[in-house]
Copies of this chain bind each other. A is one copy, B any other.
């Protein structure tokens, strides 16, 4: 895996700034609702990552087989 996976791209850094701005303008109820949806999305992405890793050949992790 490229080390850059762990850093935000320039575009994502821009999206983060928009998100910080939006968060400041949301009501408490909207924030709570959006946070719950975001948590669900994080878990689903965890599942996708787990599923993709199961399908990867071992050498993708740096082992020579």
CA A23 – CA B34 in complex, angstroms? 10
- Residues on B with beta carbons closer than 8 Å to the beta carbon of A35: 19, 23, 31, 34-35, 38
Copy total for this chain: 2
Q: Is A65 an interface residue (CB 8 A)?
A: no
Size category of the A interface is 35 or more
CA A56 – CA B8 in complex, angstroms? 22
Interface majority SS (helix, strand, loop, mixed), chain A: helix
- A46 → chain B, closest Cβ, in Å? 7
List the B residue with the shortest CB-CB distance to A9: B47
**Are the C-beta atoms of B1 and A52 separated by less than 8 Å?**
yes
- A4 → chain B, closest Cβ, in Å? 7
